Structure 1
Amino acid sequence: MSSHFQKEPNKLANETSPYLLQHAYNPVQWYPWGEEALQKAKTEDKPIIVSIGYSACHWCHVMERESFENEQIAKIMNEHFVAIKVDREERPDVDAIYMDAIQAMGIQGGWPLNVFLTPEAKPFYGSTYFPPRNWAQMLLNVAEAYKTNKGQLLESAEQFTEHLGFSDIQKYQLSGGETTYSVEELSSIFSKLAAKFDRSQGGMNKAPKFPMPSIYLFLLRYFKITKDEQALAQVKLTLDKMALGGIYDQIGGGFARYSVDAEWFAPHFEKMLYDNGQLISLYSEAYTCTQHELYKDVVYQTIDFAARELRSEEGGFYSALDADSEGEEGKFYVWTYADWQEALNKIELSKIDKKLFETYYHIEPEGNWEHGNNILFRTDETAFAQANNIDPVQFKKAHHQLKTHMLQERAKRIHPGLDDKILCSWNGLMLKGLVEAYQAFGEPLFLELALQNARFVLEKMRKGNQLYHSYKNGKATITGYLEDYAFVIEGLLALYQATFTEEWLTEARNLTKYVIDNFYDAEEQMFFFTDANAEKLIARKKELFDNVIPSSNSAMAKNLYLLGLLLDKPAWLEISEQMLARAKKIIVSDPQYLSNWAVLLAHRTQPTAEVAIVGPKVEDFRREISTFYFPNKVLTGTTEGSDLPLLEGREAIGSKTTIYVCYNRTCQLPVFSIQEAVKQLQEVLY
């Protein structure tokens, strides 16, 4: 980055987004998205450049360094265009519109995303990263075309804008279909996914490789329902390979955003809150299913990383750590042979040959990656100890000692940049991860972090029942999106079921009411991404497809189903039913892009267990039942009495803690032990 002290700031200097602030001293006269920039374009009759990126994006930094800090290129941009910089994490609504437009132009989408608009914000051309010479030429070509061929550009912009008005429901001709769901359909979904499995390295059979947690959550449910060992085997292979690979920070815990290769070896080194929150959920659930100790270690280490490096003093979690430090990708995380030796020489390891750890982490004198650097990856502790005739307990102890020391040594390096904005939606994902880790392991710290996080979001990022998307410097900004509500509601639902504190269920209910009032499109039976009270853009989109982050509609359909059961809300169950029926055609035909929808479909193939616990030992019983793997259930409980529908009229029989297991409004006989309740669950489900 260029030094700032010699330059005048542009209009981004008053923003809070770290990504926008990185560009505040560019010679390009950037504006933030807003009325001032749009009005300037209209007044001066200039086309707009919208450049969209995010702080942890490596190629965004490269384009800034090469083009946006280049005085000659900046001059072209300032003379012929109104330039707007957008942080896609702050404005996913703007990003979604122009990403859709780019793809309609036949251009492969990605970031940095650079789109040319008319003064009315309608898109007519775009691109992703370009080297400086090509970028400068493109700018001149577009400026010339706008002057000499304006009518054709405006006509083209109208056509793209018309395309943006079509929803995915219309594009894919998704009509409300049947509302029956079968195990045969689940098997069809599994077969389509299985055809794309990488059966040697885990994940899907392509590179780069992204974690895609909701695919494996579906596979876990499919295995639970069908007992198909292939599904569990693929989950275990994938989770093992990721946990032992370079995509996982072997010294500090936490996952990078993706692996550039098919082996999970070389990561793109940025660490995102949304990945780590979801992967904490996935590994916690996989542990409950398998009892595999590696998964427990991953959860504990990843939460430790998030609490150490991403948590604010107020209890919210920051967005991301950059891939780069000192201008080099991954520099903070990799080790030269000399660096490793120097750090290792400062520690005494109990009865373990230090040389063994070179082998264990695949460290080579010439480096196992580029520029003589080593990316750490490993094998399973127990297997390695046995192969080298070492007591596994002794090896585990020495390994822990080594990692603690190496983490302290690494902390002395210059750290990657921190994106310290706090996003509501991603905090919802982290909240759910913390709660599910608490349910799996009973660790009080996880619950405490979750409670502090829930209070932070509801106290600092909400006004009435309206959420705000972003928080920084004591101020919440940007009207919340559907993803904010969907993921926070999901987190609150999990928190209620982990504590039986009804406040969290009440908060989830109130936010859901707001969503139905302000986001729901009754005609298409799906939710808009933006609030009816938010800024009006050239299109109001609906998010249907699941990606690395599940779609807000699939998350909301699950929320409405679970809340409908917990609160006895037939109208909410009906909306969820309609949404799933609309999406069903493409869930079954193309499940890789609707895997979170497929999780809900899996739940609908069987009755969902409604488990009510009443009596003095309610907390002990709740904790114990959470250690059994029954993903298709809702849990509710109270020590004495409650007005909640599933607890109404339920009481502890003979002062003994009593468990009621019901399905489809039909109850089993009340029982007095977890073993009896588990037997009832197994008899009706699975």
Structure 2
Amino acid sequence: MHPSHRNRLSAETSPYLQQHADNPVDWYPWGQEALDKARREDKPILLSIGYSACHWCHVMAHESFEDPDTARVMNELFVNVKVDREERPDLDKVYQLAHQIIARRPGGWPLTVFLNPHNQLPFFTGTYFPKTARYQLPDFVTVLHKVAEHYRQQKDELRRHDQALAGILKAIQREGPADAPDPRLLAAARQALDSEFDAVHGGFGGAPKFPQASNLELLLYLTRLDETGDPGALHMATESLAKMAEGGLFDQIGGGFYRYSVDSGWQIPHFEKMLYDNAVLLRLYAEAWQLTGRALFRRVAEATAEWVLREMRAPEGGFYSALDADSEGEEGKYYLWDRAEVRALLDPDEYALVERHYGLDQTPNFEARWHLHVERPLPEVAQGLGLDPGAAEQRLAAARAKLYAARQRRVRPGLDDKRLTAWNALMIKGLAAAGRRLGRDEYIAAAETAFAFLRRSAVDADGHLLATYKGGEARLKAYLDDYAFLLDAGLELLQCRWRSDDLGWLLNLADQLLSRFEDRERGGFFFTAEDHEPLIQRPKSLADESLPAGNGVAALALLRLGQLVGEPRYSEAAERALKAAVPVLRQFPHGHGALLLALAEWLHPAELVILRGRPEGLGPWLAAARRGDRRRLVFAIPNDAGELPGDLAARRAEDGEVAYLCTGTSCLPPIRSMEELVRSPR
């Protein structure tokens, strides 16, 4: 299309919206101009929500939105609004929920929603619609005509529908605080995960299969709750992590994880790579290595971190959002191999190893090509080839390097280069936690650079967070996830290196979280701030979705911050959030892993260790405090840190190093020897 025909999306910063800027559809971004036009002309709104790495979003775009005949119908009958769900998760949450109510089935992307222009309430919803009828779905143009006709001719029915839907949306948030949560909720989640655990392939449930990172994190947490541990929980978590790492969910050549597996055995993924998945999985693999010493977990954690630092890091700090599932118009093409190509790239000894290890001697597993996974364990292959394990590792590493170099010459998947505050916060925590557990200071340094970038670039003139950054500009008011995830990440980073100024900023974020997001009547936190644009519902995210639930992360971070500085406002807000979540925790406990992590810490507070001393003398004390598998929050504060807030002011510096150890409201006398610190009771 000629550039003069570019639509209104051409002025947007979102890479996803830019993908649609040349469509013949007269797209509007969500905003007052589109809403006013629809109301004025009494035209229903066609709201299309997707994201840049979404395969089926691309399919619908190519079939329908790039087709002049389909676009002509859309432009005649509707005001068309395109939304990037990653920039506007508030709209996505509201209209995904409405779709589930109306269609009585789960949503997804692309989400296609038709709205009453006078109140933005949806009256018909769907996801992907094909250009020609197939998959038991009507063709899109027929849908367009029938929806427009229904809007014009069924005004009374539309009015009754709007009233009913508005009532349902309002009723969803009427539940008030329940009884205080108790340990039986943790036990119920543990039992539910046990019943859904796939003992053959790891993970939970069947295809399509998602990592369910919050539940894996909960299981790892449960193994540390007391000295006896929970061997069953550890087995479920580590077996799942191992099977994912050896399957096609993990990029065996370039590192990093894809979004999810379309089969139950982790073999064939949906090929987009998202920053947030890799952020959470990075720290889980580092923790699993710390718990088990299993070399696979360390290798996968390091490969994931290196992929992030190599391919997803922006020059001035922060991390890009995603790599597309498609390249050259085909899903997964960048990652797939022909056997002859692999044989030509490797020497015979390398090929013999790779063929057996990655299953190239098996039937092609994706459209006549191979997506690599571990078919046979490397020790087994090495034994069959008469190699010692060390030589096999070296040979495999050399082969991977050659395959990676060859893959780099292919047409790469599209990069979504916007930087989202919430997703960056998850990666900051992932890198900081992995760096701390694996002893990789460069990961901590990268986390620190990204944190400084957000402090510098993702705030407005009033000190409020902004949600997205692209092209030198931060925009859009931040959501609960931005505040909660960044508060959580900052506390992790403070355990790696102390900055009193960073603590001050985190306290400011926590105060904003309470003042602008808390539901003062029922407890918990709304997804949008009190000054946010009014929508048909003010969502409150309790369940884990593709991201851990903001309420769960906020509760955990506030508990830890309240413990650190002795501020009861924070811990009390966390407790109110947990009480507000009790009804949903009772109904479906294992759908709320992030909230259950916060609940576990509320029921069983972690030990808090504050170290004071000379910067050059704190290192050995820090190592001593972290020794073993204890659930400890350890902060090493140098004597020259300046004035400290709250209870930290009482953790005074002395001539030598000193440790202050507290659990809940109980504190030991100051500890002045490392031996005593190591011997201190749990």
- TM-score interval for Structure 1 and Structure 2 normalised by the shorter chain: over 0.9
Q: Give the deviation of 1:353 after TM superposition.
A: 4.9
Q: Could you say which residue in structure 2 is the equivalent of 1:615?
A: 613
Q: 1:152 aligns with which of 132, 153, 157?
A: 157
Question: What amino acid does structure 2 have at the position aligned with 1:308?
Answer: R
Q: Distance in 2 between matches of 1:178 and 1:191?
A: 21
1:296 is paired with a residue of what secondary structure?
Answer: helix
Q: Distance in 2 between matches of 1:353 and 1:282?
A: 31
Q: Distance in 1 between matches of 2:479 and 2:312?
A: 22
Question: What amino acid does structure 2 have at the position aligned with 1:277?
Answer: A
8 Å CA contact retained: 1:97, 1:164:
no
Q: Distance in 2 between matches of 1:556 and 1:17?
A: 27
Question: What amino acid does structure 1 have at the position aligned with 2:620?
Answer: D
Does 2:436 correspond to 1:439? yes
Q: Could you say which residue in structure 2 is the equivalent of 1:630?
A: 630
Question: What amino acid does structure 1 have at the position aligned with 2:107?
Answer: G
Q: Distance in 1 between matches of 2:674 and 2:430?
A: 25
Q: Could you say which residue in structure 1 is the equivalent of 2:125?
A: 126
Question: What amino acid does structure 1 have at the position aligned with 2:315?
Answer: E
Moved more, 448-457 or 497-506: 497-506
Q: Give the deviation of 1:607 after TM superposition.
A: 3.4
Q: Could you say which residue in structure 1 is the equivalent of 2:136?
A: none
Q: Distance in 2 between matches of 1:174 and 1:59?
A: 39
Q: Give the deviation of 1:384 after TM superposition.
A: 4.3
Listed as ranges, the matches of 1:462-611 within 5 Å are 462-463=459-460, 464-611=462-609
1:588–1:220 Cα change, 3 Å: farther
Q: Could you say which residue in structure 2 is the equivalent of 1:164?
A: 169
Q: CA RMSD in A?
A: 2.0
Q: TM-score, normalising length from structure 1?
A: 0.93
1:484–1:336 Cα change, 3 Å: same
8 Å CA contact retained: 1:337, 1:366:
no
Does 2:34 correspond to 1:37? yes
Q: 1:116 aligns with which of 114, 117, 121?
A: 114
Q: Give the deviation of 1:201 after TM superposition.
A: 0.7
1:613–1:207 Cα change, 3 Å: same
- The CA deviation string for residues 234-277 of structure 1, in whole angstroms up to 9 with x for no partner, is 11111111111111000100000001111111010000000011
Moved more, 554-563 or 222-231: 222-231
1:55 is paired with a residue of what secondary structure?
Answer: coil
1:607–1:112 Cα change, 3 Å: closer
1:301 is paired with a residue of what secondary structure?
Answer: helix
Q: 1:141 aligns with which of 132, 142, 146?
A: 146
Q: Could you say which residue in structure 2 is the equivalent of 1:404?
A: 401
8 Å CA contact retained: 1:63, 1:129:
yes
Q: Distance in 2 between matches of 1:620 and 1:90?
A: 44
Q: Distance in 2 between matches of 1:378 and 1:306?
A: 26
Question: What amino acid does structure 2 have at the position aligned with 1:234?
Answer: M
8 Å CA contact retained: 1:618, 1:639:
no
8 Å CA contact retained: 2:343, 2:351:
no
Q: Give the deviation of 1:59 after TM superposition.
A: 0.6
Q: Distance in 2 between matches of 1:528 and 1:563?
A: 20
Listed as ranges, the matches of 1:160-239 within 5 Å are 160-168=165-173, 170=174, 173-178=175-180, 181-182=182-183, 185-225=185-225, 226-239=228-241
Question: What amino acid does structure 1 have at the position aligned with 2:252?
Answer: Q
2:507 is paired with a residue of what secondary structure?
Answer: helix
Q: Could you say which residue in structure 1 is the equivalent of 2:324?
A: 322
Q: Give the deviation of 1:144 after TM superposition.
A: 1.2
Does 2:451 correspond to 1:454? yes
Does 2:32 correspond to 1:27? no
Q: Give the deviation of 1:216 after TM superposition.
A: 1.1
Q: Could you say which residue in structure 1 is the equivalent of 2:303?
A: 301
Question: What amino acid does structure 1 have at the position aligned with 2:284?
Answer: L
2:112 is paired with a residue of what secondary structure?
Answer: strand
8 Å CA contact retained: 2:353, 2:381:
no
8 Å CA contact retained: 1:167, 1:541:
no
Question: What amino acid does structure 2 have at the position aligned with 1:131?
Answer: P
- The CA deviation string for residues 275-323 of structure 1, in whole angstroms up to 9 with x for no partner, is 0111111111212211222111111111111111111111111110000
Structure 1: 5+ residue stretches without partners: none
Q: Give the deviation of 1:605 after TM superposition.
A: 2.8
Q: Could you say which residue in structure 1 is the equivalent of 2:135?
A: none
8 Å CA contact retained: 2:324, 2:414:
yes
Q: Distance in 1 between matches of 2:384 and 2:436?
A: 34
Q: Distance in 2 between matches of 1:362 and 1:442?
A: 34
1:635 is paired with a residue of what secondary structure?
Answer: strand
Aligned residue pairs, count: 668
Q: TM-score, normalising length from structure 2?
A: 0.94
Q: Give the deviation of 1:211 after TM superposition.
A: 1.0
Question: What amino acid does structure 1 have at the position aligned with 2:524?
Answer: M
8 Å CA contact retained: 2:3, 2:22:
no
Question: What amino acid does structure 2 have at the position aligned with 1:162?
Answer: G
Q: Distance in 2 between matches of 1:458 and 1:435?
A: 17
Does 2:424 correspond to 1:424? no
Moved more, 47-56 or 538-547: 538-547
Q: Could you say which residue in structure 2 is the equivalent of 1:54?
A: 51
8 Å CA contact retained: 2:357, 2:375:
yes
1:527 is paired with a residue of what secondary structure?
Answer: coil
8 Å CA contact retained: 1:146, 1:153:
yes
Question: What amino acid does structure 2 have at the position aligned with 1:165?
Answer: K
8 Å CA contact retained: 2:15, 2:417:
yes
Moved more, 242-251 or 610-619: 610-619
Q: Distance in 2 between matches of 1:58 and 1:513?
A: 40
